[in-house]
Amino acid sequence: MKFREPVGIVAPLRSPMGKLGGVLASVEPFALFAHVLKAVSERTGSRRPDEVIGGNVRNSIGNITRVAALEAGLGVDVPASTVDRQCASSLEALVAAAARIQAGMAERVLVGGVESASRCPWLFEKTARAYAYFEPRPYPVHLAPESMGDPPMGETAEILADEYGIEREAMDRFSVESHHRAAAAYERGDFADEVVPVPVPGRHGAVNTVDRDETVRPDTALEALAKLPPAFRRDGRVTAGNSSPLSDGASACWAASRDALQADGLEPAAWLTGAVTVALEPRRMGMGPALAVPRLLEEHGLTPGDIDLFEINEAFAAQILAVNRELHLSPEKLNVNGGAVALGHPFGATGVRLVATLVHALRRRKLRRGVASLCIGGGQGMAVLLETP
């Protein structure tokens, strides 16, 4: 829907992304989130937020946002909550913050998300009968009822590849381009204002500073990707090389009303003007942006030609290629600094990561409008519209 009043976005930031078991694996998820929350708070003059809302999928058996807010030193009197809309969890947190601001329930909200694939807990079933025991077995996490089909995420990408006739080579070529765009963005310094370096304890008391995405591979080549085996079907096309990697990372931003920004003397990096959420068949969940983006534009009386840049999450190369068979977006407008195939996809953090990447890209290019969107496990999609001042 189109917001009655735009919501200001200040200091959209993210951590560098670490790969599963990689450079950020030793960092507790709440501590990683706290580091980025603190960076946003410092850039807004350490003002007190009315509350903190964060997204997380697999690390928040407790309320991880509250723990992170306390760790960040935001004050024991600042409330916090954690939301889960799978891959769109932090975007849901941002939209929830905007809704509270629109409703007059808050003026300033610190928003973000975190995910650590490296520190994701193992979940096991317990017996339904008290004090009965059996050999441990994994707890099944369902994104849809079995009666509707509940395929793993990789299989949903294979389903779209079947439906749209997307060949393995096209997926691999897209993945190579994503890595090359991300590497070029680093060389240009495009991520300098977006990425918050993270200190990581090393051996013998040393501290290593991580300031670059571990998941970006500048030397990625089509020949190397072509040698990788299918990951989900014996005769499939989806591989580890043309999928987003399991990742560790955090993102955050400040969301505030126009009156609050004026009172605090803050200039927004962008205005959030609207958002939509859609739903579709769980087995075709990757097409969420193909439904969400047109509806968002229609509600604002806009066309794709009115949008300068799009950031659409690359859960899988097959998925983003299928989405663009419907949206017909120019490569010059879509994921200009690479996407999740290269940058990583820490589920709870990706939504605001998309916003941060989009806002900084718009400002560097002196452009006006951008759309961020992503698909959601279980068959949903979200999209938001942002405008630079």
Domains, in order of start, for the chain: 2-119+244-387 (3.40.47.10)
Output the pLDDT for position 131: 78
Output the pLDDT for position 60: 84
Output the pLDDT for position 139: 84
Active-site entry in 87, 179, 253, 300: 87
Two structure tokens written together for 93 = 């947190």
- Residue of 148, 103, 124, 11 whose CA lies nearest to 61: 124
Active-site entry in 35, 300, 345, 360: 345
Round to whole Å and give the CA distance between 112 and 67: 13
pLDDT under 50 in the chain at which residues? Answer: none
Output the pLDDT for position 204: 78
C-beta of residue 343 within 8 angstroms of C-beta of residue 216: yes
Output the pLDDT for position 250: 98
Average pLDDT, the chain: 96
Output the pLDDT for position 130: 80
Output the pLDDT for position 257: 98
Round to whole Å and give the CA distance between 356 and 320: 20
The CA-atom distances, in angstroms, between 11 and each of 76, 161, 267 are 23, 37, 10
Output the pLDDT for position 134: 77
Output the pLDDT for position 135: 80
Task: Describe the crossing of helices 153-164 and 317-327 by its angle, rounded to 10 degrees.
Answer: 40
- CA 14 distance to own-chain centroid: 10
What is the SS3 assignment for 3?
strand
What is the SS3 assignment for 247?
strand
The residues, any chain, with a CB within 8 Å of residue 173's CB and separated by 6 or more, are 222
Active-site entry in 35, 179, 253, 375: 375
- Residue of 347, 366, 370 whose CA lies nearest to 357: 370
Q: Is 253 a catalytic residue?
A: no
Output the pLDDT for position 140: 84
Q: Is 87 a catalytic residue?
A: yes
Question: Could you report the per-residue pLDDT of 291-318, keeping only the tens digit for each?
Answer: 999 999 999 999 999 999 999 999 999 9
Round to whole Å and give the CA distance between 214 and 231: 21
What does the angle CA 10 – CA 16 – CA 20 come to, to the nearest 5 degrees? 135
